[in-house]
Structure 1
């Protein structure tokens, strides 16, 4: 920016956007931070300052620690499946075969479905009485009777993570597919001449080229998966027996079920701090990608 008034013009043009950003982001953040230091009740009377009591309660709360562990498990399982399925799908879509364009359109459809619609659809598919998933497994002889996939505390969270992975793996697949387009074909020819098999070509040629893009998209997906709420709310409401209660659902419950705004705000701030760690990991991955 030059010293001829362009700096003033720049801030003048950015001013409306910055005001809107402050109104919808900065103010709620500051308000939540302040509420976390009080004993505020949703719809209650005036709040009193309690210092770090809410944070100390959150750190000592076994329910919060359990929800945090569930959220970490959900994130690792969902993002891990997305990485495996996404990379495999990208490698298949990279090959030339009749109808490849049509298949690419089909692959992107799960990602295009809204989250709520996706959750409702899978809730019906996994229904223990008339769900098509049970019918398919029963007809193929994999199971002997219908099973309540979302009613079993041992597998409910895993099923929700699988549904989340099904919804988002196309995004990983197409990011990796775009990265595959930049791999020089002569590297594969040279690897074949050296006697490298398919796995060796993938590890020594393909993986180094797609890894920067893969790390970036997986970091983004990890941030999003860690904040999961909508799919849990629609499919299980945090049940059965709190088996799918993630930290975001815990915050919602603390606010709107228990009306404890102070503790709920403290939970939200802790989640924001943990999400910031994932954001820093994402920024490092982007910096690494830019340095290559």
Structure 2
């Protein structure tokens, strides 16, 4: 007779069922919505098949949003991991006030996206922004640089703000990985090799490479689906300079009241995210995964 001993995974059902219910049902309902014409201003939900997807993909805004999302991801994700690694290596050192510095580094992590956006608007504002003020005091510029109103600079400004908000999480995970390295190994490496770069390449990096892979994938997904910071800082503008696919989901659903098209964009984002994960993991060296 089959008992629960033969299927130990059944012990997880009480925890997995609520999670599956709260995850699978919304996803299934969103997919159903993407195949129907669901518009708040018009009654009825007729089946339209792939028409929502065709209309979304053929629109001009989709190509702009897709390009912006990919550029945003390709810049932001590596920057978060690189800067996070450098900060984690620095904070592993013992120095006076290290605990205070660690607390300050973690501050962006606890701030809501809207508050972070307000802080960075204050930094990048063309009239009274801190950055322009510092550059003028240093006599590097005469006027004001339109960081948030120039199509060429707005996306760069949003990337900087996004990287700032994501670095603390990367630092925490990398510091945890670094703390697992044998201290005697590091001491021996410091004696045998005086080059910090070589010590990192041959001693430190092999120990934290798995965490770096996780962070690259995580930050790629976070950047590709970023919404709140972009919405609060630029509203997708100027024009479509900072319009991302995640922002377009909100615009279609809650501005145009076309939930069918909004759900179609959402599923396209899911599909592209899956492709990004596969592409990133295949592009990375196989030895990163311990093969």
State the TM-score bracket (shorter-chain normalisation).
0.7 to 0.9
* Larger displacement relative to structure 2 (130-139 or 153-162): 130-139
The 5-angstrom pairing of residues 84-103 of structure 1 reads 84-103=82-101
Other-structure match for 2:177? 179
Deviation at 1:90, TM superposition (A): 1.0
Other-structure match for 1:126? 124
Using the size of structure 1 for normalisation, the TM-score is 0.87
Q: Which of 152, 155, 158 is the aligned partner of 1:157?
A: 155
> Structure 1's 145 and 220: CA in aligned 2 closer, same or farther, altered over 3 A?
same
Whether 1:208 aligns to 2:201 is no
Native 8 Å contact 2:77 2:216 kept in 1: yes
Which blocks of at least 5 consecutive residues in structure 2 are unaligned? none
Deviation at 1:251, TM superposition (A): 1.2
The 5-angstrom pairing of residues 98-247 of structure 1 reads 98-192=96-190, 194-195=192-193, 197-247=195-245
Other-structure match for 1:43? 41
Q: Following the alignment from structure 2 to structure 1, what is the Cα–Cα distance between the partners of residues 191 and 100?
A: 33
Native 8 Å contact 1:33 1:266 kept in 2: yes
Native 8 Å contact 1:219 1:281 kept in 2: no
SS at match of 2:68: helix
Q: Following the alignment from structure 1 to structure 2, what is the Cα–Cα distance between the partners of residues 67 and 97?
A: 45
Native 8 Å contact 1:179 1:210 kept in 2: yes
Q: Say how many residue pairs are matched.
A: 289
Other-structure match for 1:61? 59
> Structure 1's 156 and 126: CA in aligned 2 closer, same or farther, altered over 3 A?
same
Deviation at 1:176, TM superposition (A): 1.3
Report the aligned-residue RMSD: 2.9
Q: Following the alignment from structure 2 to structure 1, what is the Cα–Cα distance between the partners of residues 67 and 269?
A: 12
Using the size of structure 2 for normalisation, the TM-score is 0.87
